[in-house]
Structure 1
């Protein structure tokens, strides 16, 4: 059956524990898990035979655990009996071809009863549901291939192999195995059109699927869009960003996917990414300085002579002007303020960034940013904490008084070192309340509203910190002078006291 063997044997099926590794028993059927089976006739039934045919044709698959085989449908309909007739089904990817002893075939009504070796075949369109219009050419045949931008996609009429047999990486949630370099195999038993499009996207670079430990994680490449089936049944295939789309194939893959029409032949399909009428190739886009950034003048083109070709190129040009670009799943290009200036309106009088150029008409009018209430609540709480610290700085400076002198509130301290008052040290005080340090209270909803506003406050704090360190150094120097004079005075007093004591003794 389709290149696999179904053998009939006397006796009963052996126990699961006696089977070789990789084989499994299901009722009176033993399968090797690869489509070949043995049916034991002593207690076997027609159902066992139908299951064996389904395993060979790919309609069913077997999962083998501990010598037992669990059968499950892969594609098509399981073989059945209807009013004294045997109903067989092909798999998704292959016609049904059965050869064997004619007497045996006749027992199942699959030939005229002649002796010798005979055969039976049925293609995948021999029977359809009522009202269905199935075209054989509309289904990809096993063994067909697609070459997409030099990468190969192979179609196999089999179920997805076990994890140990992947060899490369199974794309998560898909009936596709890829080698991580763009080449893939689509398994038709249980496969869908989405699996085919996934393999095409991996080959074109529209999606990436890096392989790790036998698994491939699928993600849409930056600036690209995943291919999809439109509501009318048409395929929308993305070229990706790396190059034009060039597809060739063997078997019926191109015609089955509708790629052998006006834009291609039976063996190739090519679509260039050149701009269509009304496109933006050759048009310019300008932005005035936005929040102090560098004004931008962009020409959209093929990437040569300084023109912008990709989303990455566009973002590189916009970055110096505090702007960024993104493309959503519908292909819409959006240019917005960089995260640091998230509260700014593009093109406003306050922030700048007015748009111009011949491509400006393609864009809608800039809209005001919409604040995230949760984030702004957190920032408002930070503003309150900051203002509380400002109050503490003010009261601490006011309380830094000793003997009526407060060097942090603008007072001056004069130290006299001798009895004539000619040796003195004047220490100039400073006003180091928040205002004196260049700090002021913040307003919720205005300050800390985005990263740029926060960075302004950080800059004033850095300046205040530098001022404090400088003044601390100056006060430290004065303290050293006072301590030196104090030490000198103590030593002099000790000398005088010693001399006085000696004179008294004398």
Structure 2
């Protein structure tokens, strides 16, 4: 090629065409890539500055993803606190319901429901995690959110522990004692005998008659009340002389615990009921029975046995069931036809109380989930060994529920109010942290856009400008081609000489 000689004009036009082609190639590359700086060769300063800006934008984009995950973790904890707050408010409502009733059984029921709510609170706290991080689960769950690429700007959110409601650093709400009941029993036994008091003419005595008017008692005789259950029968306190009236005898018998006497003026029949073996002794003797008057007391053996066959019950007696708070469950009035079954059913009618009659021992076993007493307006009720039991049947529960007293309930309500205050404060703190992360997230998005925009200003091509450049270069190329053609024609004029 070096043996070929081109004229100066042709060579100049050829170089112009080559230069234009190079320029067109560069412009076409800028239009194709959209970049005016594609490598350090294009513009080292702009290229490396833009690379730094883009690298920082990339680092912040990674942190932006982490911020989004932190937001979700905080939101999960916030939803958990909202639910826990609702449950604590429900627990407070249960405490207020317990405060509005004096029934120990109802309070015991509310205590059990309260404990169930505390269990749900713990479950909600355990379930408030996001990707293994739980801000309501205490130690090891603190959340750190980094806002810049060198980790010098960050936010650390400390976790609280609500997975155990009893923690003093958490909700400070302990399970309540639900109470444990106890059992007692009532012995049902008795017997009766009937003595007919008549005068010598066969007429029935009345309550105002003198005892010696009876054919059974002489004018020199006195009567004693005798306990026949002892090995050596003992004379009980009291007694009457032959000069006393029939009413005096009736009153004396009724003064003995567990003994009841009724006299019929029409028939002269004296009916004696007793919870224990008992008889009337003659002339103050504990060994001489008056007219064979022995009351043989035996255990009731059937639910159909009449209650009034015992000295502990009389028609019109009122039995009352009361719990430890003095709350009256109900009353039962003894009638002439009231049976063991009626008494058993009365006790079984109430929640938390049950009765079971044993026909072998004649005992009614009463089980109560709370403190309970079964009393009667008859002082002979539940008497034993001729000793009156004015307290009746008393059941002291092994343990009371945590809502047993107003003081206990008010103490729980105070704790619930404190817990609600702490929950609202913690919710506010999480809300502030949530807003902080969201604000920093928005800022980071804006900063990334600014960095990318700045890098673009350094490296992005102006397509309008480059399009105009390409059009100008195409025009230049056409003109250079025409000029080259003219130069070649001038060289060809020598051919005309041949």
Same fold, judged at TM 0.5 (above): no
Larger radius of gyration: 2
Q: Which has the higher contact order (CA 8 A, sep 6+)?
A: 2
TM-score (norm 1): 0.26
